[in-house]
Amino acid sequence: MKDQISKALQNFSIVLSIALAWLCVFNINMWLFTSLHYSERADWIFMPAALRILAVLIFGEIGAAGLAVGAYLTLSHAPTSPPAYEIGMAVTSGLAPLLGLQVCRWITPLNKDLAGLKPKDIIILSIVMAVANSLLVNACLALAGKFDGDIIQLITIFVGDVVGAAIVLVAISTAIDIFHKFRH
Amino acid sequence: MAGADQSPAHVRFLNVINALRQMSPLRGLTADESALLDELIVQWHCEREITVGSIMNGPKQESASTIHRRLVGLKEKGFVAFRASPSDKRVKYVVPTTIATSYAQELERRLLCFERGLGAS
């Protein structure tokens, strides 16, 4: 019983941490790239996409739950917006990277513990997750009657996710390298 | 920690960090790794096979572990590979990769161009 409570608390803290990290990076992205905002759900650079990759790779479904919560926190919550639509949009943010990871496992073999993970695997993952996210978000919009066939929006979400993830991941890798150089 | 595949999250985290580190644009050769690679190119030209042990225990003032670390750095950056001896798996040979071979060929080409340039003048 104690173990279960401890595990539940652990999972809750992971979900909360990822959600807060998402909120933080989302707001930084909005501040830095306001001019690259295409529509309510599409930006030409979307840095939080990197969090999708990291959260799902490291924490699996718990990570995806954190992403969904984080995405929900960033929605506009307009009075006219149906709750089902908002929940659907939040869920796609968690579901898309999980689907992307599954598809990636068909393309490039990934060990369960990610041993031997290479940069090219992360690049493939970011592209596949961007495709999955773009399709799922627009499918959700279509179901809510908010998709007007705007192909540019589809492309924007894809490009935004790929470029945003690249910026963040290269920044993280450079920071790690600099840290290691100073340590030695 | 929980995860889709039940392998420990800290192991997955370390493997992700390791992969991310390889994406760094600062991952060029260090001066020491570059010097070691140059030595290896000379030895590959003169000898058939070089063992990891012979490099680590060679006539240098630096410790064997320091030299081993540089060898591993060259391996991670794709310049060398380790090949086990067929007769004794404990013995590992240091072999050049296509990147190291291309590097040596490019060096030779540029030196030849330089010599021709000097000869012309």
DSSP state string for A93-143 = HHHHHHHHHHHHHHHS---TT-TT--HHHHHHHHHHHHHHHHHHHHHHHHH
Distance (Å) from the alpha carbon of A126 to chain B's nearest alpha carbon: 13
Q: CA-CA distance, A30 to A25, in Å (whole number)?
A: 9
For residue B93, the cross-strand partners are B51, B83
Query: Among partner residues A116, A121, A173, which is closest to B21 by beta-carbon distance?
Result: A173
A104-147 pLDDT, tens digit per residue, is 998 888 888 888 888 899 999 999 999 999 999 999 988 888 87
Question: Quick one: DSSP state of residue A35?
Answer: G
Confidence of residue B109 (pLDDT cuts 50, 70, 90): confident
Residue A69: what pLDDT?
A: 95
B39-56 pLDDT, tens digit per residue, is 888 888 887 688 888 888
Whether A153 has a pLDDT exceeding 60, the answer reads yes
Query: Is A117's CB within 8 Å of B15's CB?
Result: yes
Confidence of residue B60 (pLDDT cuts 50, 70, 90): low
Distance (Å) from the alpha carbon of B84 to chain A's nearest alpha carbon: 20
Residues of A in contact with B22 (CB under 8 A): 118-119, 173
Cα of A147 vs its chain's centroid, Å: 21
Query: Among partner residues A54, A121, A177, which is closest to B24 by beta-carbon distance?
Result: A177
Write down how long chain A is: 184
A174 has a chain B CB within 8 A of its CB: yes
Structural tokens at position A34 = 């306001």
Q: CA-CA distance, A53 to A133, in Å (whole number)?
A: 12
Distance (Å) from the alpha carbon of A107 to chain B's nearest alpha carbon: 18
Structural element, H or E, at residue B83: strand B80-84
